[in-house]
């Protein structure tokens, strides 16, 4: 088995963990490759050609942001993804730092399952297209200003938010920015789109959960431009009157799971909740 590492670009702890992954992989006779930029950070790993993953599995070493970047690259190559957690909560990372050898052994032996996660597809009124696993966000560009965003569902104008931003999240992304903004946690086995306003200044500010076939349109109203991002990647400004349409994507991210775990158990473990 060949494993393509994708590292957090700057965290020292990620490079240290990647070195441990490479050392454990050598003992298990697993091939490890890294991008040329990371060759000096991971002793013993093979440098892969630019733009290529050339592997059976993509292994991200970092926080959830690194897993998202690895997933973006893995989708294009049709490969499954697994993460080693070098971050904090790490909802998307399957392997903890003290589980590296056990995790790699499970991969080698085929002791894992693959779960398919829905994605988002977005197109702006100016022709920009993007995809995301976690979320598409329209947010303020100037810190002290709020923006106005009109949300429509299947061409039915629903609500205008005066807020710091509006998030459209997948169930996978419900544990990320959506959760920080007060949105619900949603079992990733479900297919749904969640709209959550960030710090709303309107009478109605509750999150709304839609079915996965819903077409959502977010239009910038008022006189202030808003910034568009997908999974934290900046896609520029939406000017007043411009919009972005968000639907369930056709791409599927394949996440490797080493052991079945109920969603409730995952929440308890990640957020250190006590038994009732």
- pLDDT 10s digits, 130-150: 999 999 999 999 988 999 999
Which SS3 state, helix, strand or coil, does residue 161 take?
A: strand
Which SS3 state, helix, strand or coil, does residue 198 take?
A: strand
CA distance 109 to 106: 5
- Binned at pLDDT 50, 70 and 90, residue 226 comes out as very high
From residue 149, alpha-carbon distances to 52, 70, 110, 178, 205 in Å are 39, 31, 47, 17, 12
**Run of H or E residues at 68:** helix 64-77
- Binned at pLDDT 50, 70 and 90, residue 275 comes out as low
- Binned at pLDDT 50, 70 and 90, residue 70 comes out as very high
pLDDT at 43: 87
pLDDT at 187: 95
Contact 132, 147 (CB under 8 A): no
pLDDT at 80: 96
- pLDDT 10s digits, 7-16: 998 889 999 9
- Binned at pLDDT 50, 70 and 90, residue 266 comes out as confident
pLDDT at 89: 64
pLDDT at 49: 86
Active site residue 251: no
In order of their start, the domains of the chain are 2-112+258-270 (3.40.50.10330), 119-251 (2.60.200.30)
- pLDDT 10s digits, 33-54: 999 989 899 988 888 988 888 8
Identified catalytic residue from 64, 111, 141, 155: 64
pLDDT at 95: 92
What's the mean pLDDT in 17-32? 94
CA distance 139 to 17: 34
CA distance 16 to 273: 29
Stronger pLDDT, 268 or 60, i.e. the higher one: 60
What's the mean pLDDT in 82-96? 84
- Binned at pLDDT 50, 70 and 90, residue 174 comes out as very high
């Amino acid at each position: 088995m060949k494993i393509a590492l994708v590292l957090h670009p700057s965290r020292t702890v990620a490079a240290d963990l990647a070195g441990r992954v490479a050392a454990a992989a050598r003992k298990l006779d697993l091939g490890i490759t890294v991008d040329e930029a990371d060759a000096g950070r991971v002793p013993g790993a093979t440098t892969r050609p630019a733009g290529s993953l050339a592997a059976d599995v993509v292994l991200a070493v970092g926080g959830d942001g690194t897993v998202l970047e690895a997933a973006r690259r893995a989708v294009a190559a049709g490969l499954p993804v697994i993460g080693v957690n070098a971050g904090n909560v790490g909802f998307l990372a399957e392997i903890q730092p003290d589980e590296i050898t056990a995790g790699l052994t499970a991969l080698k032996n085929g002791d894992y399952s693959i779960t398919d996660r829905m994605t988002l597809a977005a197109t702006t009124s100016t022709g920009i297209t993007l995809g995301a696993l976690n979320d598409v966000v329209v947010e303020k560009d100037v810190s002290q200003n709020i923006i106005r965003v009109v949300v429509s569902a299947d061409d039915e104008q629903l609500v205008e938010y005066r807020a710091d931003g509006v998030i459209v999240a997948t169930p996978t992304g419900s544990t990320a920015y959506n959760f920080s903004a007060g949105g619900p946690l949603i079992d990733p086995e479900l297919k749904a789109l969640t709209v959550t306003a960030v710090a709303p200044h309107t009478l109605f500010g509750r999150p709304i959960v839609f079915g996965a076939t819903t077409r959502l349109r977010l239009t910038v109203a008022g006189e202030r431009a808003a910034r568009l991002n997908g999974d934290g990647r900046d896609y520029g400004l939406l000017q007043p009157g411009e919009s972005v349409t968000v639907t369930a994507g056709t791409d599927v991210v394949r996440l490797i799971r080493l052991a079945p775990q109920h969603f409730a158990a995952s929440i308890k473990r990640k957020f250190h909740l006590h038994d009732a």
